[in-house]
Amino acid sequence: MEALPRISLVTPSFMQAAFLDGCLTSVREQAYPSLEHIVVDGGSTDGSVQLIEQASSTLAWWCAEKDQGQSHAINKGLSHATGDVFGWLNSDDLLLPGSLAQVGAAFAADPDLVVYGGRRILRSMTDVDTPSGLDDASRPDALFTDPKVNQQSTFYRLGVVKAIGGVETALHYAMDLELWWQVLFAQGTDHLRFDALDLAVFRYHPDSKTVRDQAAFRSETAAILRQLAVQVDQHDLVAVLDQGYPDRIALRPMSVDGSKAPIIRRMIVRFLLKWNHMVHERSQFEMMRLFRRTVDLRTIPLDEVDTERLTLLDGQLRVPGWLAFRLKRKFDHLVR
């Protein structure tokens, strides 16, 4: 086995003093022999800076200054990273004991490895732990259409991330998903490895973006998929996404051409059915009605879950329009 690689771990931090000390301690207690821990604070005023100063002797670099958000902070940290492997750990999350040793061993064992991942523990606000799902390298299509992207437990070859340009600074919620797809489209899926090991803790709490702004995650994911659809000339799906997600976000392109159109179509159809098979708002109704009227699904393989979602969707759309949909929904509610 080769020598353990240098791991560059970036921690973006802002106003999370209640969790930051635990995060920093979980990294320090890894005792990984070749670790470069970089902390980028956005100018916190809650005591975070004092905690970082206390830990500064164990950090390769840190700063505390106003920035443009989490993605900008991650890229600022990346600009100081000199390692072989890259990951980021948010200031309210934790590494589990021995995680970096496992990551380092995986990259040392395979010089061609591009992505290594494990599970993460989802810790609720009442300290109830639930293990996450895990990506499966033997199912390459699912890595695009149904990725788990356990961000806290996912590590990349640093040179690959830097070649892409780091994370997309226009995104504030789905930057980990965009980076995942950037890497997979640029590098393929031959050099990925995922082990059923718990590597990190993802903490849900009232101030976490995942709890607070789930709609924003969906909106940014739609923007990423729209960018892909534009690049491979899938105009029918661009129109559908524009109908339901009209906010425009200017995003960088990905390494795709027309040969990727089939998988991109499956990615978008999966997203639309996952999040919009149950209609609640007019924008959803109009989007999914346009979807059913204009998108030919005969060439898009649907699994059992998607087929069930499509059946549920069609049952709701079997009305003349939005007003009829609302009246039918009220009637159905009354007769239950």
49 has a pLDDT exceeding 80: yes
327 has a pLDDT exceeding 80: yes
CATH class of domain segment(s) 7-211? alpha beta
Residue with more model confidence, 164 or 213: 164
Enumerate the domain spans of the chain. Answer: 7-211, 213-335
- For the ranges 244-253, 303-312, 324-333, which has the lowest average pLDDT? 324-333
pTM for the model stands at 0.95
**Radius of gyration, CA atoms only, the chain:** 21
Task: Please tell me the distance from the alpha carbon of residue 130 to that of residue 298, in angstroms, as a whole number.
Answer: 37
- For the ranges 9-18, 79-88, 122-131, 139-148, which has the lowest average pLDDT? 122-131
* Short-list 38, 7, 195, CA closest to 100: 7
Dihedral class, residue 61 (left if φ above 0, else alpha if ψ from -120 to 50, else beta): beta
Strand partners, 18: none
- For the ranges 41-45, 82-86, 226-230, 332-336, which has the lowest average pLDDT? 332-336
Query: Angle, nearest 10°, between helix axes 304-317 and 282-294?
Result: 110
Task: Please tell me the distance from the alpha carbon of residue 276 to that of residue 244, in angstroms, as a whole number.
Answer: 10
